[in-house]
Amino acid sequence: MDTSKVATSNATTAATGKKPSRAGAIASWADERLGIASMAKKNLRKVFPDHWSFMLGEIALWSFVVLLLTGVFLTLWFTPSMGEVTYHGSYEQLRGIQMSEAYASSLRLSFDVRGGLLMRQMHHWAAMLFVASMMVHLLRVFFTGAYRKPRELNWVIGSLLLLLGTLEGFTGYSLPDDLLSGTGIRAADGFVKATPVVGTYMSFFLFDGEFPGESIIPRLYTIHVLLIPGLLLALIAAHMLLLVYHKHTQWPGPGRTEKNVVGFPMLPVYAAKAGGFFFVVFGVTALMGALLSINPVWKYGPYDPSKVTAGSQPDWYMGWPDGALRIMPGIESHFWGITISWNVLLPILVLPMLMFTILLLLPFIDAWITGDKREHHLLERPRNAPTRTATMVALMTMYGLFWAAGGNDIIAITLHASINQITYFLRAAVFIGPVIAFVITRRWCISLQRKDNDDLLHGYETGIIMRSAEGGYSEKHLPVAPSRAYTLTARDRDPVPNGHHEEVDANGLPGPAKGRLTGLRNRIRTVWYADNVQKPTPEELAAGHHHAEHEHELQGPMDGHAADGHQFDGHHLVEDEHLRSH
Amino acid sequence: MSTPPTNDDHAHDEPVDENLPARDDLFANPGLPEHHWRPTDVDSKAEKRAERQVATLFGLSAVCTILLIVSYFVFEIGEDPDVIGGFGASNLAIGLSMAGMLLFIGIGIIQWARKLMADQEIVEYRHPASSSEEDRQAALAALSAGLEESGISRRPLVRNSLLGALGLLGLPAVVMLRDLGPTPNQVGPGKKVDYPGAGIEHTIWAKGMRVVRDVVGTPIKPSDLEIGDLVNAEPEALFNGGEDGEPLEGVVLQINKSKGAVVVVKMEPDNIIPGKGRENWSVDGIVCYSKICTHVGCPISLYERTTHHLLCPCHQSTFDLADSAKVVFGPAARPLPQLPLEVDSEGYLVAQAPFDEPVGPSFWERG
C-alpha cells in the first residue's frame, strides 16, 4: 500500500524536534524540580486496551468530577440550618410560610440564583449517574472475571466506593429539608431506633435529642460535603493507582495474551478519548439538568412531621432495602422489658450488610472454590464461567425483585392490581426468583459453550442449503476464520472436578483429608464446574476437521453448480456461473 | 511498532497449582491483525476535511459559551419554572448552551483522536504484580533488620504496653462524641432536658386537652363531623402552649408535631369493635388514633372510609380503625396507639387521658 501520503500529523516518527520545543522546556523545568521524567517515561505511552465496556467505570469517575464541581457551586448559597424563617422569595405559592433555612435556601437556589436550578438538577442527575455507572461497572468486572488475582483488592475498593456513593446520595438528597426528604429522615430515625440495645441512644445522639431536633441537617451536611467526599476521593485515587499498576485487563484475541496488553498509548489517543469523554459526560449531565426536572422540592413544600405525600419513595438506589422493608411481615418480639423489631432490623440493617459482605468477599469465595491462584489479565466471556455468571444473575434477580417491592404501591396503581397480592407474591418471589434465574442462566451459558464448540469442530452455519444427489438436504458449514478460532479457544480448561484434588503428602501418597472444610470445598467445586463444556481437545479438533473434509468431498461436485447466494455481490467471480434455466 | 507477540508469550513461568490444567493453545496465535490505513491517513482531502470538522466543533462550543453568557443576563429568573413547555426559560437556555459548550468540545476531541491521531495499536508487556524474588528478599531482610534494631520482639513489655496504649486511643474517639445529644433518659418531664411534651415515652397530650384541627387550630364538636369524615388533628397545646399560653415554636413545635399528631374519624357507632377496656374511648362513633406509624414513623393519612382502613404511604402498613387500629396488612407489628376521647363542658372533643403507650416506631427499651 502506498503510504507516502500518510498525514503528517500522524505520529509514526519519533517527536524529536530540531531545537528544544516549548513543551520540552517546560518538561525539563519540571523534571529538575520534581524528577518526574522517570515516572513520565513509563506512563506517558502507557497502553490502554479498548472496549466499550471499559467506559462504564469512566462514566462513574467523570460524574464524580461533575458532582464535585456542581456541589461546590451549591454550597455557596445553600444554608445547612434548621432555624425557622418565613419565606419571602420569588416562589409565590410558598411566600409567608414558615420553613427551615435549609429549605428556604434550596428555594433561593432554584428561583433566585441564575443557573442555580440547573446546578441543583445537574448535581442530582450526576449522583444518579454516579451510582448507576458504578453498579454497571461492577457487573462488567464480575461477569468478565476481571476481579480475579491480582485485582481482588481493587474489587474491595470498588465495593466500598459503591457503599459510600450510596450513603453520599442519601445524605445529599436529605439536605433540602423538603417534605419528601424529611419523611426519608423520619424513616431513617425508625431504622436507627430498631438497632438492638443502643438504637434509642444512637437516635438521640444523631438528632441531638428527640426527632427531628435541629441538628440533623447541619450534621448530614458535614458528612455530605466533607467526610464522605474525602473518603471517596482517597479511594478513587487508590482505585486508579492500582488500575495503572496492574495494567488494564483485555479481551483475548489475535496478538493479545496473558503476558501483554494491546491498545492505544495514553498520550495522545487514550488521553484524548478519556479527556473528551469527560466533556461528553459533563455535557450530557447539563442536557439532563436543562431538560429533565428532578426533585422539584418546591412542589413538596417544607418538612412538617405531621404531613406526608402519597407515593413517598427514596431515590432509586435506596429502593431495594426499602422494598425489603415493605414486604417483610410485621414481626416484633417483646420480652424482659425490651423490644426487638425484626420487621425493621432484618430488612434494613441485616440484609444490606449481609449483601454487602457477600459482594466484598466474592473474589475470595471464587478463589477458594476454584483453587485458582494464578494471575489473570485476559477477560473471560460470561458463558465460560456458567456458575459464576449464574450466581450474579441470581443476585441481580433478587435485587430487582426487592427493587420492584420498593415500588409495590406504584405497581398496584399502574396495573390496577391488589397491593396485598403483589406483596404476597414478592415475599415468595425474592427467594424463588433467584433460584430460577440461576438455573436458566447456567444452562444458557452451557448451551452457548456448546455452540462455540460446534463452530470450532464443525464450522459455522452458512445458511446455504445443499441438496445431495439422493435428494437429501443439508446445510453447508464452513470453518471459522483462524483469528476467531484462536479467540474462541483462548481460555483455560476447568480443573477436572473429581479425584484430582486430593491432598498429596511428600511421598506422593494421598494424605489424610484436611478436615471438613476441604471436603466441603471439593463438593462445591464439583458443582461449580459440573456440566461445563470444555474447549475441544486437539484430538477432537483433528477428528472434527477430518469429518469436515469428508463432507466437503461429498459436497465437492456441487461446488460451482448450486446458487450460494453470492453470485452478484462481488464475493467471487461469476464468469462461469449462470442461473439455472428451466 | 514492536514485533507481534508469538505463541510463546502464552507460556507461564509462575508456579501452577497442580490441580489446575495447564494453559494451552489449540491454535497458533495469529498475531495482531494487519493495520489498515484510514482515509484520513492516505487522502489529504479527507485529512483536511476531518481537520475542518474538528475545528468546527470547537468553534460551535465557543458559540455556545457566548450563548450561555448572553442567556444568563437576558432571561429572567424567579418566574414560575414552567414557562416554556414545562421548563423555566433561564434554566433551559443556560442548560442547553452549557450542554452544547461541553458536548462540542468532547465530541471534537474524540473526533480528533479517531480521525487524525495515530491509530496503530501498540503492545506493552505485563509484569507480575509481585516484586522480583530478589526485591522481596531484600525487603524482608530490611524489615527484619529494622524490627531487630527496634528490639520490638525482645522487649515484650515495651511492645505490649504500646499496643495497649494505642488500643485505648480508640476510646476517646467514641467518648468525645458523647455530647452529640442527651441520652433518652435525660429527656422528659422533670429531667435535665425538659420542654412541653418531652420524652420518648410521652407526648404533650394531657387529660382534658382539646383535639384541634391541625392547620387552623380550631376545636372540634362531634356534631361537626359526618360519618366517614377524617380530620387531621393536633393537641391544642401546640397552638396555645397549654397553661403558659405561648404557642409552641421551633424545635419544640416540630418534636410535638412528630409525636402528637392524631387522626379523628367518625364511623357508624355499631361498626366499632371496642378493645378491652376501651369501651368508652369513643364519642358518637368518633375515634382518635396516633397518626404516627408504629413501623418507622411516617405520618399516616390514606383513609378508606368503607373499610375504615388507614394506609401508610411509606411502606403500606394498613390499620383497621374500627378494630383498635390493629394491623391488617403490611410490615407494622403493632396497632396505632388510641387516644381516649370525651367531650368537655363546652361540647368540644378532648382527651380523656394521654396515650397509654409511646407513639411512633418501636425502640429497644419500649418493652
- The ipTM assigned to this model is 0.90
Furthest-apart CA atoms within chain A: distance in Å = 98
Q: Which of residues 317-336 of A touch B (CB under 8 A)?
A: 322, 325-332, 334
Instruction: Please judge whether B126 and A260 are an interchain contact, meaning their C-beta atoms are less than 8 angstroms apart.
Output: yes
The pLDDT of B101-130, averaged and rounded, is 94
Q: Do B340 and B225 reside in the same domain of the chain?
A: yes
Q: Scanning every residue of chain B, which has its alpha carbon at the shortest distance from the alpha carbon of A270?
A: B113
Q: Closest-CA residue in chain A for B201?
A: A210
Domain-ending residue, one of B103, B121, B139: B121
Nearest-CB residue to B364 (from A196, A375, A420): A196
Domain co-membership, B225 together with B354: yes
Q: What is the mean pLDDT of residues B57-86?
A: 85
Question: Digits of tens for pLDDT over chain A (582 positions)?
Answer: 455 444 444 445 544 445 668 888 999 999 999 998 988 888 899 999 999 999 999 999 999 999 999 999 999 999 999 999 999 988 888 999 999 999 999 999 998 999 999 999 999 999 999 999 999 999 999 999 999 999 999 999 999 999 999 999 999 999 999 999 999 999 999 999 999 999 999 999 999 999 999 999 999 999 999 999 999 999 999 999 999 999 999 999 999 999 999 999 999 999 999 999 999 999 999 999 999 989 999 989 999 999 988 778 899 999 999 999 999 999 999 999 899 999 999 999 999 999 999 999 999 999 999 888 889 999 999 999 999 999 999 999 999 999 999 999 999 999 999 999 999 999 999 999 999 999 999 999 999 999 999 999 988 888 888 888 888 898 888 889 989 999 999 988 887 654 444 444 455 444 455 677 888 888 888 888 888 999 988 888 888 877 767 666 655 555 544 445 554 555 555 555 554 444
Residue in A1, A47, A150 closest to B37 by CB: A1
CB contact under 8 A, A344 and B361: yes
Confidence at residue B9, expressed as pLDDT on a 0 to 100 scale: 40
3-state secondary structure A1-58: CCCCCCCCCCCCCCCCCCCCCHHHHHHHHHHHHHCCHHHHHHHCCCEECCCHHHHHHH
CATH code of residue B339: 2.102.10.10
Q: Which helix (H) or strand (E) holds A264?
A: strand A260-265
Measure B229 CA to nearest chain A CA, in Å: 18
Helices A116-143 and B89-115, packing angle to 10 deg: 40
C-alpha distance from A482 to closest chain B C-alpha (Å): 7
B311 in any annotated domain: yes
Say yes or no for a CB contact (<8 Å) between A121 and B41: no
Looking at B121, B153, B173, which one is the last position of a domain? B121
Chain A hits for B43, Cβ within 8 Å: 5
CA distance B351 to A291: 52
Pick from B5, B16, B40: which is nearest to A255 by CB? Answer: B5
The answer to whether residue B66 is domain-embedded is: yes
pLDDT in tens, B240-273: 876 667 788 889 999 999 999 999 999 999 999 9
Peptide bond into A229 cis (omega under 30): no
Report CB contact under 8 Å: B366, A339: yes
3-state SS of A469-510 is CCCCEEEEEECCCHHHHHHHHCCCCCCCCCCCCCCECCCCCE
- Which of B12, B187, B298 minimises the CB distance to A187? B298
In a domain, B147, yes or no: no
Cα–Cα nearest to A100, from A232, A220, A205? A220
- Do B216 and B117 sit in the same domain of this protein? no
B298 has pLDDT over 90: yes
Q: What is the CA radius of gyration of chain A?
A: 31
pLDDT value at residue A582: 42
Are the C-beta atoms of A367 and A373 separated by less than 8 Å?
Answer: yes
Q: Domain limits at B237?
A: 211-366
Cβ pair A48, A93 in contact under 8 A: no
Task: Inform me whether the pLDDT recorded for B22 exceeds 80.
Answer: no
Taking an 8 Å cut-off on Cβ atoms, the answer to whether B117 and A113 are in contact is: no
Report the mean per-residue pLDDT for chain B: 88
A403 touches chain B (CB under 8 A): no
Please tell me the predicted confidence (pLDDT) of residue B222.
Answer: 94
Asked if residue B337 is part of any domain, the answer here is yes
CATH of A47-324+335-380, one of 1.10.760.10, 3.40.50.300, 1.20.810.10, 3.90.180.10: 1.20.810.10
Residue B114 shares a structural domain with residue B216: no
User: Which chain B residues touch A120 with a CB distance below 8 Å?
Assistant: none
Asked, for residue B193, whether it belongs to a domain, the answer is: no
Question: What does the alpha-carbon distance between residue B327 and residue A117 come to, in Å, rounded to a whole number?
Answer: 42
Task: Answer whether A284 sits within 8 Å of B103, measured CB to CB.
Answer: yes
- How far apart are the two ends of chain A, measured CA to CA in Å? 46
Chain A residues with CB inside 8 Å of B191's CB? none
Report H helices in A144-178: 152-173
Among B40, B122, B297, select the one facing A47 at the smallest CB separation: B122
Q: Please give the Cα distance from A104 to A109 (Å, whole number).
A: 9
Torsion of CA A132, A136, A142, A144, to 10 degrees: -160
pLDDT digits 0-9 by tens, B278-296 = 989 999 999 999 999 999 9
Residue from A171, A165, A176, A182 nearest A127 by CA: A165
Look at residues B121, B148, B173 and tell me which one is the last residue of a structural domain: B121
Query: Do the domain assignments include residue B21?
Result: no
| Residue B243 confidence (pLDDT) | 62
Backbone angle region of A463, left / alpha / beta, with phi > 0 → left and psi within -120 to 50 → alpha: left
Considering only CB atoms, B102 lies closest to which of A11, A200, A279, namely A279
Percent of chain B past pLDDT 70, that is, above it, reads: 90
Whether B365 sits inside 8 A of A187 (CB atoms) is: no
Cβ-based burial of B52 (10 A; exposed 0-12, middle 13-18, buried ≥19):
exposed
- C-alpha A543/C-alpha B295 separation (Å) is 68
pTM for the whole structure? 0.89
Which of B306, B84, B359 minimizes the C-alpha distance to A293?
A: B84
> How many angstroms separate the CA atoms of A70 and A289, rounded?
11
Is B14 part of any domain?
A: no
What is the predicted pLDDT for the residue at B13?
Answer: 42
Residue A118: burial class (beta carbons within 10 Å; 0-12, 13-18, 19+): buried
Among the partner-chain residues B113, B250, B362, the one whose CB lies closest to the CB of A339 is B362
The verdict on A5 touching B (C-beta cutoff 8 Å) is: yes
| DSSP 3-state of B318 | strand
Residues of A in contact with B199 (CB under 8 A): 210
The answer to whether position B325 is within a domain reads yes
Report pLDDT for B5: 40
pLDDT tens digits along B157-177 = 999 999 999 999 999 999 999
SS3 A99: strand
Residue A461 sits at the chain B interface (C-beta within 8 Å)? no
**pLDDT attached to residue B17:** 46
User: In this structure, what DSSP letter does residue B215 have?
Assistant: T
Q: Chain A window 102-141: which residues touch B at a Cβ cutoff of 8 Å?
A: 110-118, 121-122
User: Which residues, numbered 272 to 331 in chain B, qualify as contacts with chain A under a Cβ-Cβ cut-off of 8 Å?
Assistant: 291, 295-302, 313-317, 327, 329-331
**Window 33-52 of A, Cβ < 8 Å to B:** 45-47, 50
Pairing of strands A47-48, A260-265: antiparallel
Return the closest-CA partner of residue A214 out of B251, B187, B255, B179: B251
Of B312, B276, B275, the closest CA to residue B297 belongs to B312
Q: Which 3 state secondary structure label does DSSP give B275?
A: coil
With an 8 Å Cβ cutoff, are A268 and B4 in contact?
Answer: no
Which of A85, A259, A374 has the most B C-beta neighbours within 10 Å, making it the best mutation to test the interface with B? Answer: A259
Check if A279 contacts B (Cβ < 8 Å). Answer: yes
Contact (CB<8Å) B129/A245: yes
Residues B110 and B255 occupy one common structural domain: no
From A193, A255, A268, residue closest to B363, measured CB to CB:
A193
- The structural domains of chain A, with segments of one domain joined by +, span 47-324+335-380, 382-494+532-562
The number of folded domains in chain B is 2
Residue B73's pLDDT is 93
- Residue A329 has, within 13 A of its CA and on its CB side, a CA count of 6
Residue type, A46: K
Cis before A150 (ω within 30): yes
Q: Is the pLDDT of residue B10 over 50?
A: no
Q: Does B110 reach chain A within 8 Å, measured CB to CB?
A: yes
pLDDT for A354 equals: 95
